[in-house]
Amino acid sequence: MFVINGDKEPKSKKKAAKSDSDDSEEETKSSKSKKKSTAGSASMFQASTEKDKNKDKKPKKKGKTEDSDESDSEKEEKSKKKKGKGKKKKERAPSPDIEFDDLEKFVMQPAPQGVTVKCRVTRDQRGVDKSLYPLYYLHLDNEKKTFLLAGRKRKKSTTSNYLISIDATDLSRGGENFVGKLRSNLMGTKFTVFDNALNPERALPDMSNARQELAGIIYETNVLGMKGPRRMTVIIPGMSKDNDRVPLRPRNECDGLLVRYQNRRTENLIELHNKTPVWNEETTSHVLNFNGRVTQASVKNFQIVHSKDLDYIVMQFGRIADDIFTLDYNYPLCAVQAFAIALSSFDGKIACE
């Protein structure tokens, strides 16, 4: 699945001389490959009890990571030279047709297998308090710019705390449009994503109405102050054989998703990492291939992958303007998980910079 063979490397070196249409062609080819390998990708994310059945299957060989992908700066130079030809909007293929009747249900459901949900995140920093507490919006990257989610950092919180809503005008904790939240530790290096259900202390004894933990994000601390790309780990609940998210409702913080991962209690958990960028000598920068979806260099640009298949991009996020970013996600992530992971990258991380 998405194996990069050695003979592809010379082709990638010629990318700088090719037209921007090459990016869209590659994306079309990769999307076809995704549809053919849907079953394979689904098995990677099954809960541990389900994975045991697939132990006898031989893992597929992985090719080398491309070391000559187009860098963000190269794409910028090309666009300047063309003076309007091949505008950025044409470079980014729009999201496939996605329709839904229930917005709240859609943003909580995993992406359809074989479909990349392409979105855009905009940051609104206008106003006095918005410079400290910006508003973030998630829309489908299509002609209609269909609204999905809004998020904002809560004021007067001990740690960073973001509310996520399905109404751009209602970002209150007690509102009926509240669907989830993102909370960090004191250092801003670990984040947990929750749904909108009750705190375990106020839930029923059987925990049926207690909140679920949807994801944990860990940023590696930079104790030496070395420059370079961030390193992050994303932990999410595993998927059942019916491709439903396994509910994770901890009774207390000691039983939470991040603590389980720290104690190596990884049953029903999926571990993901950001794809390591490759150092490019020509541009003297770290580069990743975003297939034309990202056009500006930023420390916030990243791709999330599973260790069993580094070429299946579970999620990618990157800058295209000062306050505009693209966010694309695949199965098994849902919109709330992907948006929360993106919000965590905006938060200040003194220990990671």
Confidence of residue 91 (pLDDT cuts 50, 70, 90): low
Q: Which residues contact 109 (CB under 8 A, 6 or more apart)?
A: 334
CA distance 312 to 303: 10
Condensed to tens digits (0 to 9), the pLDDT of residues 97-134 reads 888 899 999 999 999 999 999 999 999 988 767 667 89
Long-range contacts (CB closer than 8 Å, 24 or more residues apart) made by 173-182: 179/104, 179/107, 179/108, 179/149, 179/336, 180/214, 180/336, 180/340, 182/151, 182/340, 182/343, 182/344
Q: Residue 88 is inside which H or E element, if any?
A: helix 88-91
Nearest alpha carbon to residue 92 among 333, 320, 341: 320
Which residue would you say has higher pLDDT here, 284 or 23? Answer: 284
Q: Which residues contact 284 (CB under 8 A, 6 or more apart)?
A: none
Which residue would you say has higher pLDDT here, 322 or 85? Answer: 322
Condensed to tens digits (0 to 9), the pLDDT of residues 266-298 reads 999 999 999 988 888 888 887 899 999 999 988
Confidence of residue 352 (pLDDT cuts 50, 70, 90): low
Helix (H, G, I), strand (E, B) or coil at 9: helix
> What phi-psi label fits residue 244: left (phi over 0), alpha (psi between -120 and 50 degrees) or beta?
beta
pLDDT, mean over the chain: 79
CA distance 259 to 190: 11
CA distance 316 to 236: 16
pLDDT score recorded for residue 282: 86
Condensed to tens digits (0 to 9), the pLDDT of residues 305-346 reads 999 999 999 999 999 999 999 999 999 999 999 999 999 998
Q: How buried is residue 210: exposed, middle or buried, by Cβ count under 10 Å (0-12/13-18/19+)?
A: buried
CATH class of 103-346: alpha beta
Share of the chain above pLDDT 70, in %: 70
pLDDT score recorded for residue 283: 80
Helix (H, G, I), strand (E, B) or coil at 32: helix
CA distance 256 to 265: 11
Does the pLDDT of residue 17 top 60, yes or no? Answer: no
Q: Where in the chain are the domains?
A: 103-346
Nearest alpha carbon to residue 135 among 186, 175, 180, 170: 170
CA distance 19 to 77: 13
Q: Which of 48-57, 209-218, 322-331 has the lowest mean pLDDT?
A: 48-57
CA distance 150 to 322: 18
